[in-house]
Amino acid sequence: MSKKNPSCPFCGAPCREVVFGFPTPETFKRAERGEVVLGGCLIGDDEPEWLCTGPEEHAVYADNLKSPDTLIVP
């Protein structure tokens, strides 16, 4: 399970994957290293798949990457 982390379509900063559900010890380690963001146990219909590491921490959805012409502005 290694999704390639995209660049933020809004500002170009690298994105970190958001991991939902109860994190495993390995996930905690990855979060400590800044590789992933813990999204918590709440899972909704509109959770972003990535958060960018830029100062505005844009929420990035798969749709944002698929259709860059119709970006969902946070």
Radius of gyration of the chain (CA): 12
Report the distance separating Cα 9 and Cα 68, nearest Å: 7
Q: Which helix (H) or strand (E) holds 16?
A: strand 15-20
Q: Is 58 an interacting residue with respect to Zn ion (CB under 5 A)?
A: yes
Q: Which is nearer to Zn ion, 41 or 73 (CB)?
A: 73
Q: Is 23 an interacting residue with respect to Zn ion (CB under 5 A)?
A: no
Task: Candidates 54, 65, 71, 72: give the one binding Zn ion (CB under 5 A).
Answer: 54
Residue ranges in contact with Zn ion by CB under 5 A: 8, 10-11, 13, 52, 54, 58
